[in-house]
Amino acid sequence: MQHYLQFNDLSAQDTLYILERAAIIKQKFKAYEKYRPLVDRTLAMIFEKASTRTRVSFEAGMYQMGGSVVHLTTGDSQLGRAEPIEDSAKVISRMVDLVMIRTYEQTKIEAFAAHSRVPVINGLTNEFHPCQILADIFTFMEHRGSIAGKTVAWVGDGNNMANTWLQAAALLGFHLRVSTPSGYEVNEKTAAAPADMGAGSYKTFANPMEACAGADLITTDVWTSMGFEAENETRRQAFAAWQVNRAMMAAAAPDALFMHCLPAHRGEEVEAEVIDGPQSVVWDEAENRMHVQKALMEYLLLGRVAA
């Protein structure tokens, strides 16, 4: 049984297979072709934090593949009333075929997975957001082809998204440049990714403009992630020089793309002219969550399929 708790839980080969499948599955969806390999399968979705994209993409995706979903939140289940995570995992995984969890610490999803009879997917933790990076890389490939050897600039917080980019660079062999304000660096230990070793590693930059110079993709995220709201004001001040603006886009490669996992705050981490501008692919990126996750669920439940 395979879980997907971090980006590097799957090999490069399996990740690329899922991305290939995502393209096929997306094509079927666009052609209104019914594809229901998951009839009679049930996905439980556990949300301990808010969501729009993750919920809609998993729920719609599962229905499209013929399955069904159960939606649980901390507030309306025993999870919010201190039932041990191990007990919840044992019970829930006896009734469903697959579980997606959005929660706080990575240790919580690991504890759930350790006691689950079925595959568990990380729908965002404080440390990682693997499904989002899968969608981001799929989106890059759709627009520009293989990401191997390309340069991605991460500007902003050293958060769950940044940690996952670190793992993806190591797995898929692209250059990652990371620029964060001091005190908000990525956690090399969390991501367990190599630094400063060429393609497949990441390099840090004190100056975000330098990180963006010649990059093929510039990407950012909110300055304050869910669960860190108390730091909002301090972060707003610390991150002021890390807004992705037109000057940063101009410093990148002429055909550079802009991505943001959303939700976005125009005028904070990104200038409206950038996110709403011609280089932005954020709507494709959001839609692609559904296609890559359908491919991921197919893989976790059925393995490699023919055609």
Residue 221 makes contact with ligand NVA by CB under 6 A: yes
* Range in contact with ligand CP (rule: CB under 6 A) among 8-16, 45-53, 164-172, 181-189: 45-53
Residue 139 makes contact with ligand CP by CB under 6 A: no
Per-position DSSP letters for 149-204, written without gaps between them: T-EEEEES--SHHHHHHHHHHHHHT-EEEEE--TT----HHHHT--BSSSTTSEEE
CA distance 23 to 187: 32
* Range in contact with ligand NVA (rule: CB under 6 A) among 3-11, 156-164, 191-199, 271-279: 156-164
Among 6, 8, 160, 243, binds ligand NVA (CB under 6 A): 160
In this structure, how many other beta carbons lie within 10 angstroms of the beta carbon of residue 221?
A: 25
Torsion over CA: 150, 138, 119, 299 (sign): negative
- 221 is an active site residue: yes
CB of 234 to ligand CP, least distance (A): 22
- Of the chain, the end-to-end C-alpha distance in Å amounts to 23
Residue 186 makes contact with ligand NVA by CB under 6 A: no
- 132 is an active site residue: yes
**Which is catalytic among the residues 132, 167, 243, 293?**
132
Q: Identify the helix (H) or strand (E) that includes residue 71.
A: strand 68-73
In the shown chain, the binding pattern of residues 233 to 272 toward ligand NVA, with x for contact by CB under 6 A and - for none, equals ----------------------------x-----------
Select 140 or 200, whichever has its Cβ closest to ligand CP.
140
Select 128 or 174, whichever has its Cβ closest to ligand CP.
128
The torsion angles phi and psi of 202, rounded to 5 degrees, stand at -120, 160
Subset of 261-290 contacting ligand CP (CB under 6 A): 261-262
* Total interface residues for ligand CP by CB under 6 A: 8
Widest distance between CA atoms in the chain: 53
Nearest to 57 by CA among 230, 229, 286: 286
CB of 192 to ligand CP, least distance (A): 22
**Which is catalytic among the residues 21, 216, 221, 293?**
221
**Which is catalytic among the residues 106, 243, 261, 293?**
261
Let me know: does 90 contact 120? Beta carbons within 8 Å: no
**Which is catalytic among the residues 102, 175, 260, 291?**
102
Q: Identify the helix (H) or strand (E) that includes residue 68.
A: strand 68-73
Q: Which of ligand NVA, ligand CP, none has residue 193 at its interface (CB below 5 to 8 Å by kind)?
A: none
Beta-sheet pairing, 257-260 with 120-122: unpaired
Let me know: does 139 contact 133? Beta carbons within 8 Å: no
CB of 16 to ligand CP, least distance (A): 22
Which SS3 state, helix, strand or coil, does residue 69 take? strand
Among 6, 64, 151, 159, binds ligand NVA (CB under 6 A): 159
* Range in contact with ligand CP (rule: CB under 6 A) among 50-58, 183-191, 243-251, 266-274: 50-58
Residue 260 makes contact with ligand CP by CB under 6 A: no
Question: What residues line the site for ligand CP (CB under 6 A)?
Answer: 51-54, 124, 132, 261-262
